[in-house]
């Protein structure tokens, strides 16, 4: 969307600077004047919320590192020291820990929004794939961060997840030894996870830059899914969406604050307040809630390699989603059949999340298998088929028409 900015420096200093580094023109073009569809709903505010969460995690993380020691004998005590002794450490540590849950909550809403409104479809495939990459890096970052407090769940979570790589035929064992820097999760592992946990958020920030770049080429999708015409269908990003995103962000921060101040430990595991012990596995080990659906898929398959393949496939399938959905209509609002299946899919993900938190026995395993089968069927059978079978509702010819139609409906409402 280059050429949207009409920035002409007025002052002599501004002109002098603009000729040497036109950074303000770039900012004005991408974050102020950027033409944005005027009908974006609140589901669209999670991009901004996610940017805030990344920033919040980086800031609180940098502060935590000022008081932390990545050494197996000291790490557990260091975390307690932060919470008990460091000024406002209790707040900063919890903002970071609860923040990771908020970050994932927001990213899941953001992803489901993209799925419902067909935001992955042409011409936004690369935008979507960069998003999936961001999600993968987020998962790796959060996993390594969870190891740093060196509690029982940190240790055994790290051991189980790194052991996933031992399922690789032939080289599996060498790969896990290499990842650990030893024959088990130990001090070298903690050290390298600390190093990478510090690095990856900055990598994330870089990929987020690419994500926004890829977004600014076609511009935002919108609830109607039809292409916008610059001018009649759009408003400048600032002040319209800075205000809307800001309002949503304020509400989200209230939600965030509720967890931090009133339920700081609800999303974690009590067993992680016990120091890591390489000789005792906790009776029931589970990952953080945001990994549970994938954990359920891993355990649903009664074979080591098969389970690992299914788990990774369940995430990697998102990369090819743009080509699995055969419908030419983007927005789920105009796809009656898809709309139903979309919500079934959301519920199945929720059920998988619940099953991942339960022990892998009895009916839980059976349900996990059914849901795993459905999860993959949604991508490989249902999406391709309903695109061909369903009769989409007529889409409006322009965003303005859709917006005006909605308004006249609202006006009629009291008369009914």
Partner 1 sequence: MSTVTHDDKHDVEDAGKRDFLYIATGAVGAVGAALVAWPLINQMNPDASVKALATVEVDLAPIVEGQAVILKWRGNPVIIRHRTKAEIELAKAVKMEELVDSVARNANVKDGDAATDENRVVGGKQQFLVMMGVCTHLGCVPQGNLGDYGVVEGSAKTGGWFCPCHGSHYDTAGRIRKGPAPENLHVPKYQYLTDTKIRIG
Question: Considering the complex, what minimum distance in angstroms separates the CB of residue 45 from partner 1?
Answer: 39
CB of 65 or CB of 160, closer to partner 1:
160
Mark residue 269 as left, alpha or beta (left: phi above 0; alpha: psi -120 to 50; beta: remaining).
beta
* Smaller CB separation from partner 1, 59 or 196: 196
Place of tokens 């407090």: 149
Contact status, residue 100 vs residue 270, Cβ threshold 8 Å:
no
Residue 195 binding partner 1, by CB under 8 A: no
Q: Taking the CA of residue 377 as centre, how many other CA atoms within 13 Å lie in the half-sphere pointing to its CB?
A: 10
Q: Specify which residues 236 forms β-bridges with.
A: 35
Nearest approach, Cβ of 299 to partner 1 (angstroms)? 6
- Closer of 69 and 166 to partner 1 (Cβ): 166
Strand partners, 35: 236
Interacting span for partner 1 (CB under 8 A) from 241-249, 251-259, 282-290, 343-351: 282-290
**Interacting residue with partner 1 among 283, 410, 413, 415 (CB under 8 A):** 283
Residue entry with tokens 């970052």:
141
Determine contact, residues 159/287, Cβ cutoff 8 Å: no
Q: Does 284 bind partner 1 (CB under 8 A)?
A: yes
- H or E stretch covering 93: helix 89-116
Q: Is the peptide bond before 276 cis (omega within 30 degrees of 0)?
A: no
**In whole angstroms, how close is the CB of 145 to partner 1 at the nearest point?**
19
Contact with partner 1 (CB under 8 A) among 126, 136, 203, 360 = 360
**At a CB cut-off of 8 Å and minimum separation 6, what does 369 contact?**
300
Q: Are 332 and 385 in contact (CB under 8 A)?
A: no
Segment interacting with partner 1, rule: CB under 8 A, options 13-21, 44-52, 302-310, 381-389: 302-310
Rounded CA gap, 293 and 346, in Å?
Answer: 11
Q: Is 274 in the site for partner 1 (CB under 8 A)?
A: no
**Is the Cβ of residue 59 or residue 160 nearer to partner 1 in the bound state?**
160
The answer to the question of residue 58 lying near partner 1 (CB under 8 A) is: no
Of 8-47, which residues contact partner 1 (CB under 8 A)?
none
Interface contacts to partner 1, rule CB under 8 A: 156, 159-160, 162-164, 166, 177-186, 188, 192, 278-285, 299, 301-305, 307, 359-361
């Amino acid at each position: 969307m280059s050429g949207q900015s009409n920035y002409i420096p007025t002052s002599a200093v501004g002109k002098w600077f603009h000729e040497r580094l036109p950074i303000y023109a770039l900012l004005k073009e991408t974050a102020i004047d950027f033409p944005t569809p005027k009908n974006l709903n609140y589901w669209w505010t999670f991009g901004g919320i996610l940017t805030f969460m990344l920033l919040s995690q980086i800031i609180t993380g940098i502060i935590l590192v000022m008081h932390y020691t990545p050494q197996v004998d000291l790490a557990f005590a260091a975390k307690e020291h932060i919470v008990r002794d460091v000024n406002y450490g209790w707040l900063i540590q919890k903002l970071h820990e609860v923040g990771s849950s908020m970050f994932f909550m927001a990213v899941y809403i953001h992803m489901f929004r993209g799925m419902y409104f067909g935001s992955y479809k042409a011409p936004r495939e690369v935008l979507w794939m960069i998003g999936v990459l961001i999600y993968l890096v987020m998962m790796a970052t959060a996993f390594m961060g969870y190891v740093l407090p060196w509690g029982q769940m940190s240790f055994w979570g790290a051991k189980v997840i790194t052991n996933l790589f031992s399922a690789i035929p032939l080289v599996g064992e060498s790969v896990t030894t290499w990842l650990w820097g030893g024959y088990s999760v130990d001090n070298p592992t903690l050290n390298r996870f600390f190093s990478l946990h510090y690095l990856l958020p900055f990598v994330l920030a870089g990929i987020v830059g690419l994500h926004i770049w890829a977004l600014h080429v076609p511009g935002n999708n919108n609830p109607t899914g039809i292409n916008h015409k610059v001018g009649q269908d759009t408003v400048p990003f600032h002040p319209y969406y800075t205000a809307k995103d800001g309002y949503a962000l304020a509400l989200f921060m209230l939600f965030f604050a509720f967890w931090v101040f009133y339920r700081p430990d609800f999303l974690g595991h009590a067993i992680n307040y016990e120091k890591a012990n390489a000789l005792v596995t906790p009776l029931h080990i589970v990952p953080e809630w945001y990994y549970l659906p994938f954990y359920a898929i891993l355990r649903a398959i009664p074979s080591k390699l098969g389970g690992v393949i299914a788990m990774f496939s369940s995430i990697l399938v998102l990369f090819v989603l743009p080509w699995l959905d055969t419908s030419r209509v983007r927005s789920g609002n105009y796809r009656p059949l898809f709309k139903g299946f979309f919500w079934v899919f959301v519920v199945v993900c929720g059920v998988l999340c619940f099953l991942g938190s339960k022990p892998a026995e009895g009916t839980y395993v059976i349900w996990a298998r059914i849901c795993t089968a459905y999860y993959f069927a949604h991508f490989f059978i249902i999406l391709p088929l309903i695109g061909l079978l369903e009769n989409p509702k007529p889409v409006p010819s322009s965003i303005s028409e859709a917006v005006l139609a909605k308004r006249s409906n609202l006006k009629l409402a009291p008369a009914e």
